[in-house]
Structure 1
Amino acid sequence: MDFSTYKTEIEKDGFTIIPNVFSENDVNTIVSYINEVNTSSETFRKSANLFAIRQFLKEVPKVKRELFNNNLKSIVSSIFGEDYFVVKSIYFDKPEESNWFVSYHQDLTISVNTKSDIEGYSSWTVKQGQFAVQPPINVLENIYTIRIHLDNTTEENGVLKVVPQSHNKEIYRPETIDWNTETETICNVDKGGIMIMKPLLLHSSSRTTNNKRRRVIHIEFSNKELPQEIHWAEKLSIN
């Protein structure tokens, strides 16, 4: 399959949507593996508005074969590059009656194995036992995110809204968005489809209003090696 159009869209606008990457059976199998997991680990976050699993591929290892099918492998190698590997994975489940929303932001941190005093690496935090840090801009510009949709997702159940081309403006503070010049795009994605985006793309999501859940697997990829003092927390080859 020719992915050149999708690659062009990502480079220009910071995102693209590819339908039918996973079949109905693929999605059902993935969901069944998630449902088997013991949710008592510290990497799990559960509330009335959100269920999330950090270090998803470590917590649900059985899912790897279904996720990294030939379709997804071809997408990664054709659009990102042959040398790209996984660096972060999260599962999000937005329940049917969730009033949780996320305002416009960029994804400015990476997950690493330890904390260290390194020039250019700042804003250290720990989330569910995992270190996060804001790296230099060239590290963020190199990352691609794939969002695998396990449900039909629209504006009514928390689909992403984005500001096209905002990924080209490096650190872009949401409070400085000029809506006289910027536009907003709603990224509807059908079940089994994926959205690819650059982490520096401004994005947000709304509350759920249609009583339908929204389950998404978020996987980040890079081909950069980090300074020798730290390592990617979830580095994983997909081949």
Structure 2
Amino acid sequence: MDTITHQKNTIAVNGFTTIESVYTSAEIKAILTEINKANTDKSTFRKTTDLFAIRQFLKEVPAVNNIVFNAKLKAIIADLFGDDYFVVKSIYFDKPEASNWFVAWHQDLTISVDKKIDLPGYGPWTVKQNQFAVQPPLEILQNNFTIRIHLDDTDEGNGALKVVPGSHLKDIYRPETIDWQTETEHTCSVKAGGVMVMRPLLLHASNRTTNNKPRKVIHIEFSNAELPDGLEWSERQWF
């Protein structure tokens, strides 16, 4: 079985895969250099002792686009999903060495859109920092995918993503109903320069940092779905 077929099968069955050496150390350094130049006074930037985050990352730090979408990443997307996908959301997470921040088990059930419109199958709605988010029909979430670009070596000691393999196949899966007698938790360790590809319906979580090492990740969501009746993806862009 060739590598691409194996990765496709792994995503189909488990809901995720990891791919090493997508970025060089020079590319990682170039991305971080552009991030350090950014104006952090905007509402899309959040900085606390536990977390530095940039929402709408590719829009707020546009100089990283050509580095992030290098030839290797473009080939991964085309080979695994096709050439009709576009970016619909991007976030940069910097979890500092002494962070006590953690994320409980959840699925990524919402999409970011430009306005609120009452539409069948869309809801509930939320608004954060003037950004509308809504839970769309299930088929949109089932076809979307996320790529997490790791800028640091990440393992269970600095909050690597934990997942429940195969949980993306169970539609809406409430964390309080997880049966740990039948489910298995897996930690997705990824070296700096590697990526994790996952389906948004995959149950995932993240622990507190215990090894005094940072964890910097670029989280990018992709879709090929056109939204109905004047509703638009708020961060839609081609690459």
TM value normalised by structure 1: 0.98
Q: How does 1:129-140 map to 2 (within 5 A)?
A: 129-140=130-141
Letter in 1 for 2:156: E
SS in 1 for 2:90: strand
How many residues matched? Answer: 238
State how far apart, in whole Å, the 2-side matches of 1:199 and 1:138 are: 11
Q: Which residue of 1 aligns with 2:145?
A: 144
Letter in 2 for 1:176: T
State how far apart, in whole Å, the 1-side matches of 2:54 and 2:130 are: 12
Q: Which moved more, 1:151-160 or 1:41-50?
A: 41-50
CA offset at residue 160 of structure 1?
0.3
Q: Which residue of 1 aligns with 2:183?
A: 182
Letter in 1 for 2:202: L
Letter in 1 for 2:106: H
SS in 2 for 1:122: coil
1:59 equivalent in alignment to 2:60? yes
Q: Which residue of 2 aligns with 1:118?
A: 119
State how far apart, in whole Å, the 2-side matches of 1:161 and 1:233 are: 28
Which runs of 5 or more residues in structure 2 are unaligned? none
Quick check: 1:159–1:187 contact (8 Å CA) kept in 2?
Answer: yes
Quick check: 1:16–1:196 contact (8 Å CA) kept in 2?
Answer: yes
Percentage identity across paired residues of the two chains:
61
Q: Which residue of 1 aligns with 2:14?
A: 13
State how far apart, in whole Å, the 2-side matches of 1:227 and 1:156 are: 43
State how far apart, in whole Å, the 2-side matches of 1:201 and 1:2 are: 22
For 1:90-109, what per-residue CA distance to the aligned partner results, in whole angstroms no more than 9, with x for missing partners? Answer: 00010110001011000000
SS in 2 for 1:167: helix
Quick check: 1:54–1:128 contact (8 Å CA) kept in 2?
Answer: no
Q: How does 1:1-239 map to 2 (within 5 A)?
A: 2-238=3-239
Q: Which moved more, 1:228-237 or 1:161-170?
A: 228-237
Q: Which moved more, 1:221-230 or 1:145-154?
A: 221-230
SS in 1 for 2:156: coil
Distance 1:179 1:2, change over 3 A: closer
CA offset at residue 128 of structure 1?
2.1
Quick check: 1:85–1:235 contact (8 Å CA) kept in 2?
Answer: yes
**RMSD of aligned alpha carbons:** 0.9
State how far apart, in whole Å, the 2-side matches of 1:125 and 1:70 are: 36
State how far apart, in whole Å, the 2-side matches of 1:101 and 1:44 are: 19
State how far apart, in whole Å, the 1-side matches of 2:128 and 2:7 are: 33
CA offset at residue 2 of structure 1?
4.5
Q: Which moved more, 1:13-22 or 1:40-49?
A: 40-49
Quick check: 1:44–1:128 contact (8 Å CA) kept in 2?
Answer: no
For 1:7-39, what per-residue CA distance to the aligned partner results, in whole angstroms no more than 9, with x for missing partners? Answer: 111011000000000001010000100110000
State how far apart, in whole Å, the 2-side matches of 1:76 and 1:83 are: 10
State how far apart, in whole Å, the 1-side matches of 2:214 and 2:88 are: 26
TM value normalised by structure 2: 0.98
SS in 1 for 2:41: coil
State how far apart, in whole Å, the 1-side matches of 2:212 and 2:36 are: 20
State how far apart, in whole Å, the 2-side matches of 1:119 and 1:89 are: 26
State how far apart, in whole Å, the 1-side matches of 2:27 and 2:8 are: 24
